[in-house]
Amino acid sequence: MSGTPALTILDAVRGDVISARSQEYDEARSVYNAMIDRRPLAIVRALSVADVRITVAAARESGLPLAIRGGAHSVPGFGTVDDGIVLDLSAMKGIRIDPAKRIARVQGGCTWGDFDHAAHSFGLATTGGIISTTGVAGLTLGGGIGYLARAHGLSIDNLRSADVVLADGSFVSANETEHPDLFWALRGGGGNFGVVTELEFDLHPVDTIYGGPMFFELDVAEELFKTYAEWIATAPRAMGAFPAFQIAPPLPFIPEDRVGDPLMLLVSCFNGPDTDAEALLGELRTVGTPVAEHVGRMPYPALNSAFDGLLPKGLQHYWKAAFLPELTDGAIAAHVEHGPKVPAMQSTMHLYPIDGAVHDVAADATAFAYRDAKFAPVIAGMWPDAEDNEANIDWVRAYHGALEPHTSAGGYINFMSEDDQGRIRANYGANYDRLASVKATYDPANLFRNNQNIAPAE
Ligand SMILES: Cc1cc2nc3c(=O)[nH]c(=O)nc-3n(C[C@H](O)[C@H](O)[C@H](O)COP(=O)(O)OP(=O)(O)OC[C@H]3O[C@@H](n4cnc5c(N)ncnc54)[C@H](O)[C@@H]3O)c2cc1C
């Protein structure tokens, strides 16, 4: 990068440094959401903490904007930036599982697929995302919702420690005893506080699970939501299951004449005996006979990557989200009106339950404020063709608008779109002011601002 005077410092990086002159530039600057088309000055593929420190110094000293990238899944494209520096951690993939202590140490470039692969080898897992290509660090720093949340809490509830390169270049571990204020803020405050180079998680015995997708006719949607709301409230924590709307994809277990039909979907993940799972799922089948299902025993990573094929890199993405304190009749009516209008096979609404172990943690114990919410709905518009932007964006907005009277003002920071920046204070809820004060301590000049940004307190 010696051609760009402000960036000569990057010559010391051992990983690749990719500029507009490189053949790989277009591939390297692309992120998961095809709507995001930004042109950074340099993309640094860090290989080590040293590379990360050099890159942070380059951004600090040049004054250029900095974007941090792991799995590149950010819908608003926080993992890239125009005319600035992208710090891409995706080559930092080291993982060490300690099966005796049930601990995982995971570098900042790992995806959930990498994590699940390593931990499953020992019959262990922790709460992670439901698509295997999502980054561990980005998902965790926002909270981390997945199939195991009811049993083991959010991903942040399993985070024991994080190694962080701070804005001033120092390198610290944040945990309950070292920098506890930073540790508190990292657990839900997103990428605001530094570059997380390594994370340490608690693991749990989760080997094979019983579950999978069940598709239902739309005419039982209202009844299914009502039954589900009561069912999940009393279901054992070992049951993670969410309702959704989904156009039936061409899969072997779906009758050919139903492919392309919008249907109601319930995806389950039970960490316990088959007979208990079947008894629980049987209660939902009383609402209506499934059109198709693929439910049974499978490795946990198989379920956690089951939707990967439907959602490759390069789709258009526009999402909206909120938290639901209760699944009221009003909220159900909004779902039943808008869910069936889902305009694309990849687009969906997922209604994640976040009760159980998520509620064991106080709302001010971590930066994730919405511990009283029972559900986290996300209306995820995802479609291949830019010509369909209007139809899909309109669907997401109309659906979210109808749900809004029944939801909290804030939503999950990891499910926000580019036009949700006005909701930031509400998204951090009652924890915002404390986050702003931790931000003032660790990043007073707001070097890490390409995110759901928390302004440093005065
Ligand atoms: C298809 C899909 C499925 C998803 N499923 C789930 C799900 O099941 N559960 C869930 O909770 N969320 C889910 N999400 C949302 C996801 O948590 C966020 O998009 C998250 O930001 C992705 O992290 P990433 O590393 O892949 O993204 P990136 O775009 O690489 O990173 C996003 C931002 O996170 C921060 N960040 C990432 N890594 C670091 C780091 N090492 N240090 C400091 N900051 C960092 C930065 O601000 C960065 O810009 C999903 C998203 C998509 C697109």
- Cβ–Cβ under 8 Å, residues 65 and 59: yes
> Which residue's CA is minimally distant from atom 23 of ligand 1?
138
CA gap 82, 201 in Å, rounded: 34
Q: Cβ distance 207 to 240 under 8 Å?
A: no
The residue whose two tokens read 């029944």 is 406
Using CA of residue 166, residue 172, residue 175, residue 179, what is the dihedral sign?
A: negative
Closest atom of ligand 1 to 90 CA is 30
pLDDT in tens, 188-199: 999 999 999 999
Backbone region of residue 260 per phi and psi (left: phi > 0; alpha: psi in -120 to 50; beta: other values): left
Predicted TM-score (pTM) of the model is 0.98
Q: How far apart are CA 275 and CA 152, in angstroms?
A: 22
The C-alpha atoms of residue 124 and residue 99 are separated, in whole angstroms, by 8
Q: CA-CA distance, 163 to 135, in Å (whole number)?
A: 16
Q: Of all protein residues, whose CA lies closest to atom 8 belonging to ligand 1?
A: 129
pLDDT of residue 7: 83
Q: What is the pLDDT of residue 355?
A: 98
Residue 233 tokens read as: 């409230």
Q: Is 422 strand, coil or helix? A: helix
Measured between alpha carbons, how far is 150 from 148 in angstroms, rounded to an integer? 6
User: Contact 17/87 with Cβ under 8 angstroms?
Assistant: no
Pocket of ligand 1, candidates 31, 53, 73: which has the most ligand atoms within 8 Å of its Cβ, to mutate?
Answer: 73
Tens digit of each residue's pLDDT, the chain (458 residues): 656 766 899 999 999 999 999 999 999 999 999 999 999 999 999 999 999 999 999 999 999 999 999 999 999 999 999 999 999 999 999 999 999 999 999 999 999 999 999 999 999 999 999 999 999 999 999 999 999 999 999 999 999 999 999 999 999 999 999 999 999 999 999 999 999 999 999 999 999 999 999 999 999 999 999 999 999 999 999 999 999 999 999 999 999 999 999 999 999 999 999 999 999 999 999 999 999 999 999 999 999 999 999 999 999 999 999 999 999 999 999 999 999 999 999 999 999 999 999 999 999 999 999 999 999 999 999 999 999 999 999 999 999 999 999 999 899 999 999 999 999 999 999 999 999 999 999 999 999 999 999 999 99
Task: Kindly state the tokens that stand for 322.
Answer: 């909120």
pLDDT in tens, 160-178: 999 999 999 999 999 999 9
For residue 417, give the amino acid letter: S
Q: How far is the CA of 287 from the centre of ligand 1 (A)?
A: 36
Q: What is the pLDDT of residue 1?
A: 62
108 lines ligand 1 (CB under 6 A): yes
Asked if 53 and 82 count as a contact pair (C-beta separation under 8 A), the reply is no
Reported as a single tens digit per residue, the pLDDT across 273-329 is 999 999 999 999 999 999 999 999 999 999 999 999 999 999 999 999 999 999 999
Kindly write down the DSSP assignment for every residue of 76-123, as one continuous string.
Answer: T-TT--TTSEEEE-TT---EEEETTTTEEEEETT-BHHHHHHHHHTTT
Residue 304 Cβ < 6 Å to ligand 1? no
128 close to ligand 1 (CB < 6 Angstrom): no
Task: Determine the distance separating the centroid of ligand 1 and the alpha carbon of 112, expressed in angstroms.
Answer: 11
Between vectors from CA 395 to CA 394 and to CA 400, what angle results, nearest 5°? 100
Establish whether residue 139 lines the binding site of ligand 1, counting it when its CB lies within 6 angstroms of any ligand atom. Answer: yes
Q: Based on C-alpha coordinates, what's the Rg of the chain?
A: 21
Q: 115 C-alpha to center of ligand 1: Å?
A: 14
Pocket test for ligand 1, best of 51, 370, 414 (most atoms within 8 A of CB): 414
Spatial separation of the C-alpha atoms in residues 78 and 66, rounded to whole Å: 10
* Domains with residue ranges and CATH for the chain: 5-88 (3.30.43.10), 95-205+428-442 (3.30.465.10), 208-422 (3.40.462.20)
338 CA to centre of ligand 1 in angstroms: 27
Distance from C-alpha of 388 to C-alpha of 376, rounded to nearest angstrom:
26
Parallel, antiparallel or unpaired: strands 85-88 and 66-69: parallel
Distance (Å, whole) CA 97 – CA 424: 35
pLDDT at 291: 98
